Amino acid sequence: MMKILCDSASDLSLSYIEENNIHLFPLTISIGEDEYRDIFEITTDKIYDSILAGIRPKTSQVSLSEFVDQFSAMAKAGESGIYISLSSKLSGTHQTALLAYRAVKEDYPDFDLRIVDSKSGSIGTGVIVIEAVDYLQAGKDLDTIENRLLFMADNLMTLFTITDLNYLAEGGRISKTSASIGSLLQINPVLVLVDGAVEVAEKIRGKKRVVKRILDILDEEADQLSLQTVGIAYSNDLESKEKLEAAIADKFSPKAIVARPVGATIGSHTGLGTLGVTFLKKYS
């Protein structure tokens, strides 16, 4: 039996996870002195309420013991699998999973688990997980699935913008002075994940203009959109999300659009007003 595994930073719904028999590793979310298992014990609404109240959530990676326990159970049952992780440049979770796999492999030499660095986060990782599920349900073998996911990780482009520039400043992406001036001028950066790390691509004044620019980049960079599942990530700005989703559907007619709220792991670093899109620059 083959299993698909992912972590909660993929921001997929719990119903999708359960319906497709995916094993989910939850990161730990801390709000003040309280800790929660992401997705299982905390909702995005509670995370957004915390940010609005001035309390920034903190995240902790999946523990080594949790990986070892799950991998050992799979090895004992004679199961194989593929784990799609949050970008290794955004969290230590990927490396911890590798350590756990090596430890379990010592006791179960025949255990076959592939660990794929999504080089992304939120719905970017989620889109790769969805492809893994589709391939598994189509009867593809483990090598074929792994090769497809590695290709996607190398060719996935994730663009997003945020409203509160102070989150970028705290993350060291821009200076605090730039954040203050940018906020006054209503500057919205276009951020891009490059090889799993966040970079500021452009700075544009006004959210409407930045959304238009994201659509332009999608038009310029995406390959064979009619075959693709396009991901949309958003926080508390439903109006912008709905407009972006409608524009993508109308202009590009992709195979599918999956729109998901930004969860705690990514949201704790981007704040409210986040809006992004993920797609493949090269489909095959």
As a whole-number percent, the residues of the chain with pLDDT over 90 amount to: 67
CB-based contacts of 187: which residues, under 8 Å, 6+ apart?
A: 165, 181, 203, 204, 205
Q: Is the pLDDT of residue 237 over 90?
A: no
Q: Give me the residues paired with residue 23 across strands.
A: 5
Confidence of residue 268 (pLDDT cuts 50, 70, 90): confident
Q: Is the pTM of this model over 0.85?
A: yes
pLDDT single digits (tens) 33-44: 999 999 999 988
Contact 242, 129 (CB under 8 A): no
Q: What is the pLDDT of residue 184?
A: 44
Fold of 155-280: Hypothetical Protein Tm841; Chain: A;domain 3 (3.30.1180)
Tell me if domain 2-154 and domain 155-280 are identical in fold: no
Q: Where are the domains of the chain?
A: 2-154, 155-280
Q: What is the pLDDT of residue 177?
A: 42
Range list of β-strands (E), the chain: 2-7, 23-25, 28-31, 34-37, 58-60, 80-85, 113-117, 156-161, 187-194, 197-205, 229-234, 256-261, 275-280
**Options 3.40.50.300, 3.40.50.620, 3.40.50.10170, 3.30.70.100; CATH of 2-154:** 3.40.50.10170
Contact 24, 39 (CB under 8 A): yes
The type of residue at 246 is A
pLDDT single digits (tens) 62-82: 999 999 999 999 999 999 999
Chain centre to alpha carbon of residue 257 = 15
